[in-house]
């Protein structure tokens, strides 16, 4: 039997096998090291290449005003919306030659700042603000253009010469690039200069209703609404942030099958205001003319619907442009004095006192009082505004002539408790709750703290401080059958999910009876038809009104002889009031009274509103005015 050859591996084969085994073991060890020991590191590297996570920014809600009250369909106009704008900043660590970048950028930046300063100056002029010297980042004009350029270049170089800095702004946070500067940056493509697109707030109507709107400004590196509607409804308008975390492919597209975490951003709600755009433009036009003509420091006009409490127009001059909210010389110009300033209303409060007395049946419109001269109350001597004393006067005539002596008698009939009670019932001394940021809480002293002087002065509107909105809201009671309604400026809120919340008329309380309100309305018509407010008359219409000229306390608490506030309140047509107006002028120049300043402003504005609302006249207007009154004859 033949023997078979037996396989006998040689030493070399064993060695080769051992090498392969060692290599395999090494591979296993290396894999173990990479996948177990360094797992976290490589997972993070892989995720950073694929995964993208970030917040989703919501769109801020739009604010609308309405127009077209007389038309079948009311139209809404955006008065505050959003648009894309460009910002620029530097990334110094990406600059290989910061000096080159600074040198190239300096000229364009200087030109941009010059244009910005011109824009700011123009806005300050057109908004009626006083022009004062402002410190700016640019050199003063007395420096030569070459030196200006050199200074800007140095400033830029100081910012850019930081090798590890990933972010360095060279503009103010609110400065949006204009077309020229943006085009320059795009075309030059300077290394380390980044152009970023962001959504910012814009106001297409510019200064229209600026004080009612407020603006969106910067606060602690974030944009936030300030003042007005933007401030009051900041949370509603801002919306909620969303979140997205997912994986992207090499093209930057999201991989649909990969795991993702997604929470949609909730866009802000849209707010529709009760302001009528056309009435608002009338108001601002008339206010600007009036303030400039009568040399007032500041003026305000408020127009409301007395039956619903809706604010139809609201303006203050000097004003500002919310698009350039930083273009101001005094921060107080951004405050809305109609809700935030308190003042002693003076004679425009007399109808409220008269209504209280009639409601309490202390007097009637025909009750008489004798005015033979100034009346002494404690250590004070109270006189009429013009020093005239007309003897026997009815209550209607007391109102027509704005007779302080007659009003003191009425106030004494009521007494402190009753007078205080009616003030509070008319809504004075408490916030109205209007949807505007910055409403001031004023206080009327408790009647226990009143003395005889307080009663006397309060009866003609001095010694009592309230906001213009409170004052007109109180007069609205007389135009609205004795009912106090809640003032509001928001008509509806439209949410992103499609739901709408509509503001309805809210009646607060019945302050006086309908009969009392009607009597006072007739007495106020007589003020215009027969009294000192003749210049407020609009032929063909019965309008109710009352003038007011109030003294202003100085720092020592005494009334200043040089400063006064002139005001006028009115509503009409008296048979079915559609609007009420308050006009207030702070410290008009010269010896001026409301009858010669605020009254004609009321007439001009009322004419426009009556025409816009297409309200036919109540009677055939005479071709010749009933009165011919020159300014300054009284009020």
Site string for other proteins, 214-253 (x = CB under 8 A): -----------------------------------x---x
Decide: 245 and 53 in contact? Cβ < 8 Å: yes
The nearest distance, CB 259 to other proteins, in angstroms, is 12
Tell whether residue 440 is a contact of other proteins (CB under 8 A). no
CA quadruple 71, 74, 75, 80: dihedral sign: positive
| Contacts (CB under 8 A) with other proteins, residues 263-302 | 277, 281
φ, ψ (nearest 5 deg) of residue 560: -75, 135
Tell whether residue 543 is a contact of other proteins (CB under 8 A). no
Tell whether residue 254 is a contact of other proteins (CB under 8 A). yes
Rule CB under 8 A: choose which of 176, 208, 328, 414 binds other proteins. 208
The nearest distance, CB 619 to other proteins, in angstroms, is 12
CA 48, CA 382: separation in Å to the nearest integer?
Answer: 82
Residues 6+ apart with CB under 8 A from 311: 212, 273, 274, 275, 302, 303, 304, 434, 487, 488, 489
Pick the closer one to other proteins by CB: 12 or 84: 84
Please tell me the number of Cα atoms within 13 Å of 241 on its side-chain side.
5
- Count of residues interacting with other proteins (CB under 8 A): 24
Token digits of residue 62: 């739009």
Rule CB under 8 A: choose which of 4, 8, 37, 84 binds other proteins. 84
Tell whether residue 81 is a contact of other proteins (CB under 8 A). yes
CA 283, CA 285: separation in Å to the nearest integer?
Answer: 6
The nearest distance, CB 128 to other proteins, in angstroms, is 16
Token digits of residue 35: 């996948």
Q: What angle do CA 4, 10, 13 make, to 5 degrees?
A: 120
Pick the closer one to other proteins by CB: 172 or 611: 611
CA 123, CA 326: separation in Å to the nearest integer?
Answer: 10
Pick the closer one to other proteins by CB: 176 or 353: 176
Closest Cα to residue 536, out of 471, 581, 481?
A: 581
Pick the closer one to other proteins by CB: 539 or 631: 539
Choices 201-209, 400-408, 499-507, 598-606; region in contact with other proteins by CB under 8 A: 201-209
CA 246, CA 47: separation in Å to the nearest integer?
Answer: 10
The nearest distance, CB 248 to other proteins, in angstroms, is 10
Rule CB under 8 A: choose which of 206, 266, 389, 563 binds other proteins. 206
Rule CB under 8 A: choose which of 117, 155, 162, 202 binds other proteins. 202
Choices 80-88, 170-178, 355-363, 494-502; region in contact with other proteins by CB under 8 A: 80-88
Pick the closer one to other proteins by CB: 164 or 614: 614
The nearest distance, CB 591 to other proteins, in angstroms, is 33
The nearest distance, CB 83 to other proteins, in angstroms, is 5
| Contacts (CB under 8 A) with other proteins, residues 567-626 | 611, 614, 616-617
The nearest distance, CB 87 to other proteins, in angstroms, is 18
Pick the closer one to other proteins by CB: 495 or 513: 495
Rule CB under 8 A: choose which of 92, 123, 160, 205 binds other proteins. 205
CA 525, CA 543: separation in Å to the nearest integer?
Answer: 6
Pick the closer one to other proteins by CB: 559 or 613: 613
Cα-Cα-Cα-Cα torsion 337, 339, 342, 348, nearest 10 degrees, comes to 100
Choices 165-173, 202-210, 312-320, 521-529; region in contact with other proteins by CB under 8 A: 202-210
Token digits of residue 423: 């003030």
Pick the closer one to other proteins by CB: 495 or 618: 618
Rule CB under 8 A: choose which of 82, 155, 329, 440 binds other proteins. 82
Alpha carbon distances (Å) from 580 to 263, 396, 469, 478: 48, 21, 11, 11
Pick the closer one to other proteins by CB: 243 or 254: 254
Token digits of residue 178: 């204009």
φ, ψ (nearest 5 deg) of residue 75: -110, 145
Rounded to a whole number of angstroms, the distance between the first and last alpha carbons of the chain is: 148
Closest Cα to residue 530, out of 359, 623, 409, 394?
A: 394
Rule CB under 8 A: choose which of 68, 78, 242, 631 binds other proteins. 78
Site string for other proteins, 23-52 (x = CB under 8 A): ------------------------------
Tell whether residue 155 is a contact of other proteins (CB under 8 A). no
The nearest distance, CB 116 to other proteins, in angstroms, is 21
Which DSSP string corresponds to 141-189?
Answer: TTS-HHHHHHHHHHHHHHHH--TT-S-B--S-TT----HHHHHHHHHH-
* Residue 221 DSSP one-character state: T
Closest Cα to residue 454, out of 468, 466, 465, 441?
A: 465
Rule CB under 8 A: choose which of 83, 188, 293, 332 binds other proteins. 83
Phi-psi sector, 361: left (phi>0), alpha (psi -120 to 50), beta: left
Q: Are strands 63-67 and 75-90 parallel, antiparallel or unpaired?
A: antiparallel
Q: What angle do CA 325, 326, 329 make, to 5 degrees?
A: 110
Rule CB under 8 A: choose which of 51, 56, 77, 151 binds other proteins. 77
Pick the closer one to other proteins by CB: 253 or 441: 253
φ, ψ (nearest 5 deg) of residue 476: -60, -25
Pick the closer one to other proteins by CB: 269 or 549: 269
Decide: 280 and 273 in contact? Cβ < 8 Å: no
Rule CB under 8 A: choose which of 107, 141, 204, 295 binds other proteins. 204
**Which residues contact other proteins by CB under 8 A?**
77-78, 81-84, 202, 204-206, 208, 249, 253-258, 277, 281, 611, 614, 616-617
């Amino acid at each position: 039997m033949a023997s078979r050859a037996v396989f006998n591996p040689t030493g070399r084969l064993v060695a080769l096998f051992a090498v392969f085994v060692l290599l395999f073991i090494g591979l296993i060890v290396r894999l173990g090291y990479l996948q177990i020991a360094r797992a976290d590191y490589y997972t993070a590297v892989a995720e950073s290449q694929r995964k993208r996570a970030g917040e989703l920014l919501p769109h801020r809600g739009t604010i609308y005003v309405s127009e077209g009250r007389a038309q079948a369909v009311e139209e809404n106009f955006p008065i505050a919306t959003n648009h894309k704008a460009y910002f620029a900043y530097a990334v110094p660590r990406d600059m290989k030659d910061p000096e080159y970048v600074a040198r190239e950028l300096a000229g364009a930046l200087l030109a941009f700042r010059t244009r910005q300063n011109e824009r700011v100056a123009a806005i300050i002029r057109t908004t009626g603000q006083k022009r004062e010297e402002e410190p700016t980042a640019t050199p003063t004009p007395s420096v030569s253009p070459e030196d200006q350029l050199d200074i800007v270049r140095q400033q830029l170089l100081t910012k850019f010469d930081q090798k590890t800095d990933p972010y360095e702004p060279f503009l103010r946070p609110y400065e949006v690039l204009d077309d020229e500067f943006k085009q320059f940056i795009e075309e030059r493509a300077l290394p380390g200069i980044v152009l970023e697109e962001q959504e910012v707030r814009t106001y297409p109507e510019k200064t229209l209703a600026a004080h009612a709107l407020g603006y969106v400004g910067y606060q602690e590196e974030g944009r936030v609404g300030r003042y007005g509607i933007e401030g009051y409804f900041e949370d509603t308008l801002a919306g909620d942030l969303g979140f997205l975390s997912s994986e992207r492919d090499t093209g930057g597209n999201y991989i649909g099958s990969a795991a993702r975490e997604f929470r949609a951003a909730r866009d802000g709600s849209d707010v529709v205001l009760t302001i009528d755009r056309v009435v608002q433009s009338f108001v601002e036009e008339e206010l600007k003319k009036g303030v400039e003509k009568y040399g007032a420091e500041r003026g305000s006009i408020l127009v409301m619907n007395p039956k619903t409490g809706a604010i139809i127009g609201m303006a203050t001059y000097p004003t500002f442009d919310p698009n350039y909210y930083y273009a101001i010389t005094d921060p107080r110009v951004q405050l809305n004095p109609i809700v935030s300033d308190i003042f002693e209303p003076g004679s425009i409060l007399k109808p409220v006192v008269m209504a209280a007395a009639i409601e309490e049946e202390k007097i009637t419109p025909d009750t008489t009082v004798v005015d033979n001269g100034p009346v002494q109350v404690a250590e004070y001597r109270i006189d009429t505004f013009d020093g005239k004393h007309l003897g026997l006067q009815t209550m209607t005539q007391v109102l027509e002539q704005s007779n302080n002596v007659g009003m003191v008698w009425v106030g004494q009939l009521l007494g402190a408790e009753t007078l205080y009670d009616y003030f509070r019932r008319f809504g004075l001394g408490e916030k109205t709750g209007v949807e505007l940021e910055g409403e001031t809480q004023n206080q009327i002293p408790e009647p226990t703290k009143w003395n005889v002087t307080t009663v006397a002065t309060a009866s003609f509107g001095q010694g009592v401080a309230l906001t213009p909105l409170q004052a007109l809201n109180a007069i609205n009671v007389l135009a609205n059958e004795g009912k106090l309604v809640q003032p509001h400026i928001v008509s509806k809120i439209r949410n992103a999910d499609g739901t709408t919340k509509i503001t309805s008329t809210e009646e607060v309380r019945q302050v006086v009876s309908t009969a009392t309100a009607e009597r006072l309305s007739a007495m106020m018509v007589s003020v215009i038809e027969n009294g000192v407010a003749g210049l407020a008359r609009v032929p063909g219409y019965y309008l109710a009104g009352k003038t007011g000229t109030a003294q202003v306390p100085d720092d020592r608490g005494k009334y200043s002889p040089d400063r006064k506030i002139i005001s006028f309140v009115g509503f009409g047509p008296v048979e079915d009031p559609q609007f009420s107006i308050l006009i207030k002028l702070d410290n008009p120049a010269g010896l001026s009274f409301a009858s010669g300043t605020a009254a004609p402003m009321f007439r001009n504005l009322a004419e426009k509103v009556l025409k816009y609302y297409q309200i036919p006249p109540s009677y055939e207007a005479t071709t010749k005015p009933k009165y011919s009154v020159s300014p300054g004859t009284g009020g």
